[in-house]
Amino acid sequence: GENVEQHPSTLSVQEGDSAVIKCTYSDSASNYFPWYKQELGKRPQLIIDIRSNVGEKKDQRIAVTLNKTAKHFSLHITETQPEDSAVYFCAATYSNYQLIWGAGTKLIIKP
């Protein structure tokens, strides 16, 4: 079936450094790729999303890039801060417009 693979499962970076999380998807018809952040004990919240007609999107310190040919998309966080520590989920639409979710990446920001 369709799936979304997310890597790495855990990422530890020094405060101030950049973090990159990558996802690959299998459905070539996927056209919507959101990223959600879930802090410990809290609900997932959308932080950025991109559609298939765009290659890159930025919002302050976060950016998402999409490579439709290779069927992968990435989340980039620059100048990481302690409050960036969380679990990040990527997702992609399936052909019937259902979202398929990645398994999550636990991002740890070391002081």
Partner 1 sequence: DTAVSQTPKYLVTQMGNDKSIKCEQNLGHDTMYWYKQDSKKFLKIMFSYNNKELIINETVPNRFSPKSPDKAHLNLHINSLELGDSAVYFCASSQGEGDQPQHFGDGTRLSIL
Q: How many residues bind partner 1 (CB under 8 A)?
A: 23
Rule CB under 8 A: say whether 24 interacts with partner 1.
no
Tell me the window of 14-22, 54-62, 77-85, 96-104 that interacts with partner 1 (CB under 8 A). 96-104
**Nearer residue to partner 1 within complex by CB, 65 or 104:** 104
Structure tokens of 2?
Answer: 């369709």
Instruction: Name beta bridge partners: 86.
Output: 107
Question: Distance between CA 27 and CA 71 in Å, rounded?
Answer: 8
Least Cα distance to 91 among 31, 33, 29, 19 occurs for 33
Helix (H, G, I), strand (E, B) or coil at 71: coil
β-strands 32-38, 86-93 pairing = antiparallel
Helix (H, G, I), strand (E, B) or coil at 28: coil
Query: In this chain, which of 43, 60, 69, 111 binds partner 1, going by CB under 8 A?
Result: 43
Query: In this chain, which of 31, 63, 76, 108 binds partner 1, going by CB under 8 A?
Result: 31
Rule CB under 8 A: say whether 45 interacts with partner 1.
yes
Interface ranges with partner 1 (CB under 8 A): 31-32, 34, 38, 42-46, 49, 51, 87, 89, 93-94, 96-99, 101, 103-104, 106
